[in-house]
Amino acid sequence: MTLAALEISGYRSVRRIRFPLRQLTVLIGGNGVGKTNLYRSLELMQSAARGTFAEELAREGGLASVFWAGGKNLTADGSFDPKFRTDGYRAGESRRLVLEAEFSELEGFDEGLRYRLEAGFAPPTSAAFPNEAQIKSELAEMRHRGKPVMLMERKGPVAWARDASGRRETADEDLLPSEPALARLGGRPEIATLRDAILGWRFFHGFRTDPDSALRRPSRAVTSPTLASDGSNLGAVFATLRHIRGDTIDLDRAIADAFPGVELVIPPVEDHATFGFRYPEMPKRVFAPHELSDGTLQFLALAGALMSYRLPPFIALNEPETSLHPSLLPILARMIVKAAERSQIWVVTHDRELGNAIGEGSGVLPREVIRGDDGTWLEGLGQLGEFADD
């Protein structure tokens, strides 16, 4: 699966943006420009596939808290510009949250696939909570012989999809206004393929390293080919590499580069799976996860995310440099570039050194995230959603 393009409208600092994604995409920007909002939009799209879209928005304070509210609505002399409403939207423009993804490679859809969701407030007469996100429209569309073919379409509470023979049929699922059709219509093969592809995305936005962190506790003794988003199965991920796959060459090399002379100890699995560090100055003792520093644990979790037995089809890293010593950034960059050979990677960072190191190792040009009167944007991005230097 390859996520080819992303479109976002009406979400926090993003008024409207559409931009392409590559096998490895690196976004760099300072605090407050909206980097995390770009990252978070993909998490919201995954929540639509999971069926928790309205719940995720409620955690952010509801629609009233997440809608775009920027832009210039005053003229140069300070008077109100009639082209804009007081909320920053242009006159006649719908107040909607829009998320759209295009896929260029998805099993069974050789010519690409598009998914789009629009959400807004419930009308006054609707039997819904006032600040709850309501799905206004939703569609899944494939291309066949160069022409668009609708697989699913939803307008308000009514949705239709194609049956096994390709005929349109109205969905008999009792869709609530806040329920995404992508999650509820997953019994149909084409919709299930799209839904499962999005559910396979993995997001890593820092790892807890406090004393109660899951990273500091042993993992369940279960084969773990992929790291959980919270890193709770890190011991099992390492044990799977060492004792089931029998290959920790890349992992051992990364540890040796990051911590010269240190050995990563991965004991045979019994009731639990764990790991530890053996330092050259204390060779008779293995330091358990609860004894390691925050930066060390953060680096090990990133190694587990990027070197696990089976990488997810899409990995998003948000500020992975957090808690890391600057000397570890070139090594992290090499791990990211190597992982991009097996997975599509999206990195959002404010550390220019990390972004440049990834660029030098991969040939990928990092993109600068900026913020102007019309919200979050990418430097060099044209209005048609392409970079001039691509």
Boundaries of every domain in the chain? 2-23+43-201+369-378, 203-367
Pairwise CA distance, residues 365 & 15, whole Å: 24
What pLDDT tens digit does each residue of the chain (390 aa) get? 789 999 999 999 999 999 999 999 999 999 999 999 999 999 999 999 999 999 999 999 988 889 887 765 445 454 445 554 445 555 555 689 999 999 987 777 777 899 999 999 887 666 667 788 999 999 999 888 888 889 999 998 889 988 777 788 887 777 888 999 999 887 788 889 899 999 999 999 989 999 999 999 999 999 999 999 999 999 999 999 999 999 999 999 999 999 999 999 999 999 999 999 999 999 999 999 999 999 999 999 999 999 999 999 999 999 999 999 999 999 999 999 999 999 999 999 999 999 999 999 999 999 999 998 889 999 999 998 999 887
pLDDT of residue 80: 47
Tokens 């060459």, residue located:
249
In terms of C-beta density within 10 A (0-12 exposed, 13-18 middle, 19 or more buried), how is residue 312 classed? buried
Q: What is the pTM of this model?
A: 0.91
CB-based contacts of 110, cutoff 8 Å, min separation 6 = none
CB atoms < 10 A from the CB of 352, how many? 13
Q: Please state, in angstroms and rounded to a whole number, the distance separating the CA atoms of residues 298 and 300.
A: 6
CATH architecture of the domain covering 203-367: 3-Layer(aba) Sandwich (3.40)
Q: Is residue 203 within 8 Å of 43, Cβ to Cβ?
A: yes
Helix/strand/coil (H/E/C) assignment for every residue in the chain: CEEEEEEEEEECCEEEEEEECCCEEEEECCCCCCHHHHHHHHHHHHHHHHCCHHHHHHHCCCHHHHECCCCCCECCCCCECCCECCCCCECCCCCCEEEEEEEEEECCECCCEEEEEEEECCCCCCCCCCCCCEEEEEEEEEEECCEEEEEEEEECCEEEEECCCCCEEECCCCCCCCCCHHHHCCCCHHHHHHHHHHHCCEEECCCCCCCCCHHHCCEECCCCCCCCCCCCCHHHHHHHHHHHHCCCHHHHHHHHHHCCCCEEECCCCCCEECCEEECCCCCCCCECHHHCCHHHHHHHHHHHHHHCCCCCCEEEEECCCCCCCHHHHHHHHHHHHHHCCCCEEEEEECCHHHHHHHHHHHCCCCEEEEEECCEEEECCECCCCCECCC
